[in-house]
């Protein structure tokens, strides 16, 4: 998820590390804040893989800044990851939002639709946070008001996303 976010934001424009960290935190920070000790090793891995380059630019006050730019290989890698997301990128909501934030960079509408169809298929499977045996429980079947709240909120979120997915797929297919 972190590497996808780095590639995605750098696809838009070259950034220095601090600005990149701010943007990633704005996208995912409420769930998983990005520490420098996590971000910079990921940047170095991507740089070693030839997916991004670092250049030194004068700082606005004193110290020079390292500006990160996506290479052509990095642009290709982002598009590949968007077109072929791992299953966790489809099923984990936070990873899905990161993928969705950059899906526009996959310029082929049928490829975008294929990714959205995978998410739609996942959401259409009966599921719950709570089960009775193998049967998923609905909010109306749970006495605990807090668990009922989780299920009620999840249902509303799921319905909204399903509606958006169907509308967007119709638009992409149209």
| pLDDT of 3 higher than 90 | yes
Summarised one tens digit per residue, pLDDT across range 126-157 is 888 899 998 888 899 999 999 999 999 999 99
SS3 97: helix
| pLDDT of 30 higher than 70 | no
Q: Are 56 and 62 in contact (CB under 8 A)?
A: no
pTM exceeds 0.75 for this model? yes
- Output the pLDDT for position 31: 59
- Output the pLDDT for position 108: 93
Question: Please, is 65 exposed, middle or buried when counting C-beta atoms within 10 Å of its C-beta (0-12, 13-18, 19+)?
Answer: middle
Return the higher-pLDDT residue of 29 and 130. Answer: 130
Largest CA distance in the chain: 63
Q: Are 21 and 34 in contact (CB under 8 A)?
A: yes
Instruction: Name 131's bridge partners.
Output: 136
Summarised one tens digit per residue, pLDDT across range 34-91 is 777 888 899 999 999 999 999 987 766 667 778 999 999 999 999 999 999 999 999 9
- Output the pLDDT for position 56: 84
CB count, 10 Å around CB of 108? Answer: 12
| pLDDT of 18 higher than 80 | yes
- Output the pLDDT for position 66: 82
CB count, 10 Å around CB of 52? Answer: 23
Average the pLDDT over 99-126 and give the result. Answer: 95
- Output the pLDDT for position 59: 64
Q: Are 3 and 48 in contact (CB under 8 A)?
A: no
């Amino acid at each position: 998820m972190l590497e996808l976010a780095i590639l995605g934001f750098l696809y838009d424009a070259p950034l220095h590390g601090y600005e990149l960290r701010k943007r990633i935190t704005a996208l995912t920070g409420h769930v998983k804040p990005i520490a420098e000790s996590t971000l910079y090793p990921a940047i170095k891995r991507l740089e070693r893989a030839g997916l991004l380059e670092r250049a030194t630019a004068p700082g606005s006050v004193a110290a020079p800044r390292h500006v990160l730019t996506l290479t052509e290989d990095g642009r290709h890698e982002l598009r590949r990851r968007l077109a072929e997301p791992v299953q966790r990128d489809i099923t984990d909501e936070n990873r899905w939002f990161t993928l969705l934030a950059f899906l526009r960079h996959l310029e082929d509408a049928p490829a975008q639709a294929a990714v959205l169809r995978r998410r739609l298929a996942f959401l259409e499977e009966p599921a719950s946070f709570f089960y009775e045996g193998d049967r998923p429980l609905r909010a109306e079947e749970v006495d605990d008001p807090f668990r009922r709240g989780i299920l009620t909120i999840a249902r509303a979120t799921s319905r909204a996303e399903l509606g958006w997915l169907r509308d967007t797929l119709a638009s992409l297919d149209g």
